[in-house]
Structure formats: C-alpha cells, structure tokens
C-alpha cells in the first residue's frame, strides 16, 4: 500500500469528488511519469489542482524531486507544441491532396495529363477519358467505339468473365459506373467537384486502368499497345 500523505489525500479526494477519482488521477500520472513513487505522484496531482505542496511535504529532497518532474513536464509540453507548430505552419506541406501524382507510380498518361487543380470536374473527366482510351486501345478497337460501348465490347470479349457470376457482373458494373457516373457527375453538378474528390478519383482511375490490363491478360487478350504512350496517339502502354 502506498504511503500517501493522509491529510493531502483527504483534501484532494474531497476536491476531486471521491477516492476512486483520485486514484484514477494518480494512475494517469503513473502512465506519464514512469518509475515514480506513488506518494510523489499524489503531489503531482495536487499541483494540477493548484495546491501548495510544501504545505504538506517538508522533505527538501522530495520537493526538489517534484520540482524536477514538473520542469521536465513543462519542457516536454513546450517541445511538442513547437513540433506541432512547425508541422502545420505550411498548409501545402500537410495537405495530402497537394502531393505530386508522380509519387504514386500512376499510369504514365494519367500522371502526365491529369492534375489536382481547378476546375476539378474537368480533371476528373480527363482521368476517366484516360481509362476509356486505354480500354479501347488495349482491346485493339478503333475510335468509333467510345463511351459505354467500350464496356460493352469488353463484355463481349469475356474480359469481365469470372467463375462466379456475381463477380462478373460486379466488374462490368464497376467500369460502367466509372464511365457513366465518374466522368459525367463532375460536369453535371452545379457546384462542381472539390479537390479531395478529384485527387481520389484520379487514383481510383489508375487502379481501374491497371486492373483492366490484368483482366485482359487473364482473358488472353493480345496486347495491342506499344511502349510509347499518349492519349492523343494510336498507342498505349503495357502496365505492370
């Protein structure tokens, strides 16, 4: 049993409201100040409640120990606050949506042609256009096939076919939604898309492009793409 100063314990218990509440406060101090005796932790709790410790403790060595712990606590709090201030002083450094898209190893055309910038709806449209063009070229189709027709052709070529019917349907719906919803929703909104939405959709589009390439490989669709890549040319790249 810890040798708490009985008089101080009684005063603090009354101030906090109960013995249980005081014990909880002591345990919180114990988590913060490791390997410190419980009787000293009581004094630290007293300090939080603006109680003059020297009124209850006369041992100079103990008072010096308490002062040292309190000073260390002040310095740690100051250091943490300084770090937080430095971290958040430049909004561009902490805004995740300002990170260069090239850092995400995106499909090259997507990273080159799409930016997280206003008008965001236009960038979203361009990203999904990259997906549509990649799908068309990966399947060796000409430019007369566009929009949702590209997804229909992928269905005909069994690119979305899986052993489980629901998975096949899910893949087909996924790409239909990308072209019918993601590409059009930004343009149809009165307010338009926001920065976060733009950033996330570009990354999601990259996922869809690479997934489609993998699905084509599984369906043994011959790769019609060349090594060079441009959304305005007749070539596309083979993604890993």
pLDDT tens readout for residues 20-70:
888 898 888 888 887 788 888 888 888 888 888 888 888 888 888 888 888
Mean of all residue pLDDT scores within the chain: 83
How far is the C-alpha of 32 from the C-alpha of 135, rounded, in Å? 57
How far is the C-alpha of 131 from the C-alpha of 179, rounded, in Å? 8
Binned at pLDDT 50, 70 and 90, residue 93 comes out as low
pLDDT of residue 189: 57
The 8-class DSSP code of residue 53 comes to G
- Please report where in the chains the tokens 């361009």 appear, as a residue: 126
Measured in residues, the chain has a length of 240
How far is the C-alpha of 37 from the C-alpha of 72, rounded, in Å? 16
How far is the C-alpha of 145 from the C-alpha of 236, rounded, in Å? 16
Exposure letters 27-62 (e unless 16+ CB within 10 A, then b): eebeeebeebeebbbbbbbbbeeeeebeebbeeeee
Is the confidence at residue 92, as pLDDT, over 80? no
pLDDT of residue 235: 39
Q: Where are the alpha helices (H) located in the chain, listed in sequence order?
A: 6-16, 19-32, 38-48, 60-88, 91-94, 108-113, 120-138, 148-156, 165-177, 183-188, 195-218
Q: Identify the top-confidence range among 54-63, 115-124, 167-176.
A: 167-176
Q: Of 62-66, 103-107, 127-131, 187-191, which range is least confident? A: 187-191
């Amino acid at each position: 049993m810890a040798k708490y100063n009985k008089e101080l314990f009684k005063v603090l218990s009354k101030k906090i409201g109960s013995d249980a509440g005081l014990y909880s406060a002591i345990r919180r101090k114990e988590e913060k100040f490791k390997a410190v005796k419980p009787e000293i932790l009581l004094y630290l709790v007293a300090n939080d409640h603006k109680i003059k410790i020297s009124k209850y403790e006369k041992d100079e060595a103990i008072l010096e120990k308490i002062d040292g712990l309190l000073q260390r606590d002040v310095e740690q709090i100051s250091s943490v606050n300084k770090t937080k201030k430095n971290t958040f002083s430049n909004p561009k450094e902490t805004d995740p949506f300002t990170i260069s898209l090239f850092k995400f190893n995106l499909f090259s055309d997507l990273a080159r042609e799409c930016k997280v910038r206003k008008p965001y709806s236009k960038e979203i449209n361009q990203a999904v256009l990259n997906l549509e063009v990649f799908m068309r070229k990966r399947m060796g189709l000409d430019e007369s096939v566009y929009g949702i027709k590209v997804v229909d052709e992928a269905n005909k070529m069994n690119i979305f076919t899986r052993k489980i019917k629901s998975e096949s349907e899910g893949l087909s719906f996924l790409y239909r939604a990308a072209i019918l919803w993601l590409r059009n929703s930004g343009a149809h909104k009165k307010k338009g898309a926001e920065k976060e939405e733009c950033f996330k959709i570009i990354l999601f589009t990259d996922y869809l492009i690479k997934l489609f390439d993998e699905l084509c490989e599984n369906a043994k669709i011959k790769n019609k793409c060349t090594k060079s890549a441009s959304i305005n040319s007749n070539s596309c790249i083979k993604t890993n």
